Amino acid sequence: MSIKYALFDFDGTLVDSNEAVISMLHLAAVEHRGIPFNEVELDEILGKPIKEQMAYLSEEKADELVAFFRIEYRKVRDELTRSYEGIEAMLLQLKSLGIKTGVVSNKGRDGIDHGMDMFKLHDLIDVTISKDDVEKTKPDPEGIFKALEQLGADSGSISETVFIGDSGHDIESGKRAGCKTILVGWTLINREKLLPLNPDCIAETPMEILEFIKEN
């Protein structure tokens, strides 16, 4: 086993916030243009920072729509966000193997901290990098490099790293960093659209993430 660092996206990868996020995206779209996003549009924007998602609706009103989204999202996030079965067990086993873990997300710091508190992940995740901690969000690999730096990894550690996520931005970010990549099988994005990015593994369950790490 050569992998020493496992870095994860947050929404849609470690926690199931899909219903909360998508329902609020639709709400913002209806607020701005009177109709929700269609499936093609959702495939295009899922996984991107909220500012980019709102700019898809209107660059001119993006800041106003971001504020609207955040207010409405906070009203429903606790009720509509759930844990994925098997995530906690997988993270516990990674800890037992001595694998250092981190989150690299395009989500804001407050949202990540709230989710980490809600699902008691602080003892299972060693570092968290939010969109507020980097100059360039995914698909730029800055967050991956910053997480490794905070984990005490040296410059050669990228070959010992795997990045796990549910979007094209996640896989592209990992590829650009030079680490191994895993696409989670529970992504809501059209899988056929993501396959050309050539993730090293598609994990249908959290335990398949663990198996890949043990075998690589």
Q: Tell whether the torsion through CA atoms of 7, 146, 170 and 160 is positive or negative.
A: negative
Pairing of strands 15-16, 100-104: unpaired
Hey, what are 216's tokens?
């690589």
- Distance, in Å, from the CA atom of 47 to the CA atom of 12, rounded to the nearest integer, reads 9
Which of the following is catalytic: 9, 11, 126, 166? 9
In sequence order, what are the residues at sequence separation of 6 or more whose Cβ sits closer than 8 angstroms to the Cβ of residue 77? 17, 20, 111, 114
Residue 139: cis peptide before it, omega within 30 degrees of 0: yes
Q: Per-residue b/e over 74-95, b at no fewer than 16 CB within 10 Å?
A: eebbeebbeebeebbebbebbe
Is 9 catalytic? The answer is: yes
- Distance, in Å, from the CA atom of 143 to the CA atom of 203, rounded to the nearest integer, reads 22
- Distance, in Å, from the CA atom of 35 to the CA atom of 11, rounded to the nearest integer, reads 24
H or E stretch covering 29: helix 18-33
Residues carrying an active site annotation: 9
